[in-house]
Amino acid sequence: MDEKKVMLSGIKPSGDLTLGSYLGAIKNWAERAEQFDCYYFMADLHAITVRQKPADLRRRTVEQLAQYIACGLDPEKNTLFIQSHVSAHAELGWVLNCFAMFGELSRMTQFKDKSRKNEDNINGGLFTYPCLMAADILLYQPDYVPVGEDQKQHVELARNIVQRFNGIYGDVFKMPEPYIPKVGARVMDLLDPMSKMSKSDEAGAGVVYLMDKPEDIMRKFKRAVTDSDTENCVRYAPEEKPGVANLMSIYSGCTGKSYAEIESEFAGRGYGDFKKYVGEAVVEMLRPIREESLRLIADKAYLESVYRAGAEKASRTAYRTLRKVYKKVGFVER
């Protein structure tokens, strides 16, 4: 009776993992393995909705796996796999395309955003992206889907699809809940604290990558924007001082200190000093992750054994759901 609840999440290997991916997502994932049955995958199918260099995509996909493990995701306790290795994702994705409405898909904020940014490549995949994401989720019948705030709308769409599909065919899919962590949920760009620290950001000067060298991390924090007032005082006021608030949230994520503790720690000390401390805290937090990632990246045979075993395990669950769906919609059994 004490079946563990199921969790599932994915990250697109469309850019190298950032401090934001770690504090906002992966760090929390690592702590859940005991309590939940967890699936995490590299969403390579999703990555190609924006043009990728093949060699880079391949490298990043495997490096991302190494980084997941280095961040504490134990492959013995979590199912770690590459999305394209479980073809059920693409197959169910097609079926769900037929259960999502044009109007619904047109309202997706990410689609509108990405169309604006990729005017020369507004492809069909970018438009139906949420159907593939719904397939990713529903194949594993998860209870919770840990995502950032920006992905909540996609999980909502998956929920609409569940309602529509189950309404016609009976209880096929479990209704998933989005799971948005309270702390460290959103790390913002160091140079533009109004936008999310994004791994797909080309310039990257305000983005800290998990694999950045300590000196690069320190330089990025030194140049981080604080705010334009002359107060020069570390105080948590996200509306007035988004840059400072972001640095405080990063520092809190690294050290576990509360905002009040941080305010008193830096009382009477300027932003320059504060930024140096935040930078050092990040360097120390990321050091073991970077070292372990580099060690794992060099061990190709090990990584291969992990993603093979992961795909095998994920496939068992995924095809069970897919077979049920195929039967329900009226496909002849193979």
- Catalytic-labelled residue, pool 27, 199, 220, 241: 199
What is the enclosing helix (H) or strand (E) of 7?
A: strand 5-11
DSSP string, 152-208: HHHHHHHHHHHHHHHHHHSS-S---EEE--STT--PBPSS-TTSB--TT-SS-TT--
Nearer to ligand TRP, 10 or 279 (CB): 10
**Shortest approach of ligand TRP to residue 262 CB, angstroms?**
29
Site mask for ligand TRP (CB under 6 A), range 40-59, x = bound: ---x--x-------------
114 counts as catalytic: yes
For position 9 contacting ligand TRP by CB under 6 A, the verdict is yes
Whole-number Å distance between alpha carbons of 40 and 136: 10
112 counts as catalytic: no
How far does Cα 69 stand from its chain's mean position?
Answer: 15
Pick the piece of the chain touching ligand TRP (CB under 6 A) from 8-16, 294-302, 303-311, 316-324. Answer: 8-16
Nearer to ligand TRP, 49 or 226 (CB): 49
Applying CB under 6 A, among 139, 147, 207, 217 the residue interacting with ligand TRP is 147
Nearer to ligand TRP, 133 or 197 (CB): 133
CB 143 within 8 A of CB 125: no
Give me the phi and psi of 45, to 5 degrees please.
Answer: -60, -40
324 counts as catalytic: no
**Shortest approach of ligand TRP to residue 145 CB, angstroms?**
5
CB 7 within 8 A of CB 16: no
SS (H, E, C) 248-300: HHHHHHHHCCCHHHHHHHCCCCCHHHHHHHHHHHHHHHHHHHHHHHHHHHCCH
Nearer to ligand TRP, 11 or 303 (CB): 11
> Within 13 Å of residue 232, how many CA atoms lie on the same side as its CB?
7
Whole-number Å distance between alpha carbons of 136 and 277: 40
Applying CB under 6 A, among 10, 24, 204, 310 the residue interacting with ligand TRP is 10
Residue number of the CB closest to ligand TRP reads: 10
Query: What value does the CA radius of gyration of the chain take, rounded to a whole number of Å?
Result: 21
Site mask for ligand TRP (CB under 6 A), range 127-146, x = bound: ------x--xx-------x-
Nearer to ligand TRP, 82 or 233 (CB): 82
**Which residues participate in catalysis according to the annotation?**
114, 196, 199
Binding site for ligand TRP (CB under 6 A): 8-12, 43, 46, 133, 136-137, 145, 147, 151
